[in-house]
Chains A and B, each alone.
Chain A
Amino acid sequence: MLRVEPLSRVLELGLIALAAQLVPKKRRQDWMLEWRGELAYLHSVLGSSIPARIVPMRFVFGAFFDALTLRVIEGKQRERFPQAKVSPITCLVVLAMLLTASYGATFLLPGVRAERELAPAPIGNGLVLIQGAEEVHHGEPTIAPSQIRVWRRGQQRYFDGFAYYYLAAESFSDPAQPERGRTWKIAHATANLLPLLQAPVRLGATATAANYGMPALVLSESGWKHRYGADPGVMGRVVLIDAKPARIAGVAPDGMWMLPGNADAWLIDPNTEQKHDVLGYAVAHLTFQGKAMMRTPRIAITAHRAHFNTDAYEGIALCRGSVGPWSFFLYATFLALVTLPVIAPAEHTEMSLHTHELGWFRLLLRPLFYAAKLGLVWPIAYFTSLNAAYALPQLSVQTQTYLQLTTGFLACLFGVRWAILDQHRRCPVCLRRVTHPARVGNTASNLLAWSGTEMICAGGHTLLHIPDLPMSWFPAPRWHLRRAA
Chain B
Amino acid sequence: MVAERKLSHTAALILHAIDVGYVYGFSVMETTGLPSGTVYPAMRRLEADGLICSHWEKQAVADAEQRPLRKYYRLTTAGKGTLQSLRQRYPLLVRLIPIEEKEPLRAAR
Partners in one complex: yes
The A interface, classified by DSSP as helix, strand, loop or mixed, is helix
A235 to chain B, nearest CB (A): 40
Shortest Cβ distance from B40 into A: residue: A66
Cα A94 to Cα B30 with chains together (Å):
35
Cα A38 to Cα B67 with chains together (Å):
10
A356 touches B (CB below 8 Å): no
B26 touches A (CB below 8 Å): yes
B64 to chain A, nearest CB (A): 15
Q: Give the contacting residue for A33; candidates B25, B39, B40, B69; CB below 8 A.
A: B69
Chain B contact patch, size range: 20 to 34
A381-400 Cβ-contact flags toward B at 8 Å (1 or 0):
00000000000000000000
Cα A36 to Cα B70 with chains together (Å):
9
Contact A37/B71 with A50-B30, A66-B41 known, Cβ cut-off 8 Å: yes
Specify which chain A residues have a CB less than 8 angstroms from the CB of B69 in the assembled complex: 33, 37
Specify which chain B residues have a CB less than 8 angstroms from the CB of A65 in the assembled complex: 36-38, 40-41
Cα A36 to Cα B69 with chains together (Å):
9
Question: Are B36 and A59 closer than 8 Å at their CB atoms?
Answer: yes
B37 to chain A, nearest CB (A): 4
Cα A70 to Cα B46 with chains together (Å):
11
B105 touches A (CB below 8 Å): no
B65-95 Cβ-contact flags toward A at 8 Å (1 or 0):
0011111000000000000000000000000
B residues with a Cβ closer than 8 A to A are 24-26, 29-30, 33, 35-41, 44-45, 48, 67-71
Q: Give the contacting residue for A62; candidates B30, B37, B48, B68; CB below 8 A.
A: B37
Shortest Cβ distance from A61 into B: residue: B37
Name the interface residues of A53-82: CB closer than 8 Å to any CB of B: 53-54, 58-66, 68-70, 73, 77
Cα A50 to Cα B48 with chains together (Å):
29
Question: Are A37 and B68 closer than 8 Å at their CB atoms?
Answer: yes
Specify which chain A residues have a CB less than 8 angstroms from the CB of B39 in the assembled complex: 62
Cα A51 to Cα B26 with chains together (Å):
12
Question: Are A62 and B67 closer than 8 Å at their CB atoms?
Answer: no
**What are 5 A-B contacts with C-beta separation under 8 Å?**
A36-B68, A61-B37, A62-B36, A62-B38, A65-B41
Contact A64/B67 with A42-B26, A70-B44 known, Cβ cut-off 8 Å: no
Question: Are B44 and A37 closer than 8 Å at their CB atoms?
Answer: no
B3 to chain A, nearest CB (A): 20
Question: Are A41 and B70 closer than 8 Å at their CB atoms?
Answer: yes
Q: Give the contacting residue for A38; candidates B25, B38, B41; CB below 8 A.
A: B25
Apart from the given pairs A33-B69, A66-B40, 15 other A-B contacts in the complex at a CB distance below 8 Å: A33-B71, A34-B71, A37-B70, A41-B70, A53-B33, A59-B35, A61-B36, A61-B37, A62-B35, A62-B36, A63-B36, A68-B41, A73-B44, A73-B48, A77-B48
Shortest Cβ distance from A68 into B: residue: B41
A44 touches B (CB below 8 Å): yes
Cα A33 to Cα B44 with chains together (Å):
15
Question: Are A33 and B68 closer than 8 Å at their CB atoms?
Answer: yes
Q: Give the contacting residue for A54; candidates B29, B40, B67; CB below 8 A.
A: B29
Contact A40/B68 with A59-B36, A62-B37, A65-B37 known, Cβ cut-off 8 Å: yes
Cα A77 to Cα B29 with chains together (Å):
27
B68 to chain A, nearest CB (A): 4
Specify which chain B residues have a CB less than 8 angstroms from the CB of A50 in the assembled complex: 30
Which 3 interchain pairs have the tightest Cβ spacing? A62-B36, A62-B37, A69-B41
Specify which chain A residues have a CB less than 8 angstroms from the CB of B29 in the assembled complex: 54
Contact A66/B67 with A38-B26, A54-B30 known, Cβ cut-off 8 Å: no
